[in-house]
Amino acid sequence: MSTLEIIVSATPDDLAAEAANQFVSTIARRQRQSGLARIALSGGSTPRALFKLLAADNCVRKMDWQAVDVFWGDERTVSPDHPDSNYRMSYETLLSKVPVAEQRIHRMRGEIDPSVAAAEYEDILRQVFRLTSADALPQFDLILLGLGADGHTASLFPHTAALAVRDRLVVDNPVPQQQTTRLTLTAPVLLDAANVFFLVAGADKAPAVHRAIEGDWNPEETPSQLLRQARGKVTWMLDSAAAADLPGA
């Protein structure tokens, strides 16, 4: 079972500031231990605010971006220059502004056939993490996740095929309710991370936050509940509106 921490900030700006502090301290600690950190980023408006803070000089000086391997938890099936691309948002707000080596930026290729892109990304994970057995998992030092109002996280949407996958690291996941297909890390990869940060803001997310943390177990309906089974530390960073339905909030 995971170690759970819930941090509630007054506003979305306060949430982003708290997330930046936690991000830098987590990565710097891992770099002191092993000299390298491997992270998976997410899309969305809340990570965008975090990334802008991480690109500021005071944050850049506190960690070594040249010793960070950057991945993504999921991606839309669009080109890297598309406005909906998670890669594009991350690159424009953060990665283009910090001294991370281009060869350490590993994006999902949303512009090619989704099944090919998923297999390609799995191969990249196996190479970078030096996985030598078929059932080995990449252990990320930090995975950033968001939460949809429907309870999805990464691109693990309710009642989609990817929720049942346990023998792949990355899959292409048809999402009928979005009329699209997404690329996503699978549940086993998310569950094996040393640290997972959920970043969630807004009153519209409050019911999903409650279901994810406190609701009856039903990950088919609320996929983010799967992280209750994480082997590392799961930190929920919420603004006060997103935390409104939690006990004691």
For 37-48, how does the pLDDT look when each residue is reduced to its tens digit (9 = 90+)? 999 999 988 999
Distance CA 179, CA 182 (A): 10
Domain boundaries, the chain: 3-239
Q: Which two tokens stand for residue 74?
A: 């999921």
Looking at the predicted structure, is the pLDDT value of residue 138 above 80? yes
For residues 100-104, average pLDDT? 97
- Picking from 213, 217, 170, 211, the residue whose alpha carbon sits closest to that of residue 190 is 170
For residues 16-21, average pLDDT? 97
For residues 161-178, average pLDDT? 97
For 66-91, how does the pLDDT look when each residue is reduced to its tens digit (9 = 90+)? 999 999 999 999 999 999 999 999 99
Dihedral sign for Cα 211, 238, 48, 55, please.
Answer: negative
Cβ atoms of residues 98 and 64 within 8 Å: no
Distance CA 226, CA 11 (A): 27
The pLDDT score that the predictor gives to residue 248 is: 76
Architecture in CATH of 3-239: 3-Layer(aba) Sandwich (3.40)
For 117-135, how does the pLDDT look when each residue is reduced to its tens digit (9 = 90+)? 999 999 999 999 999 999 9
For 180-234, how does the pLDDT look when each residue is reduced to its tens digit (9 = 90+)? 999 999 999 999 999 999 999 999 999 999 999 999 999 999 999 999 999 999 9
The pLDDT score that the predictor gives to residue 44 is: 86
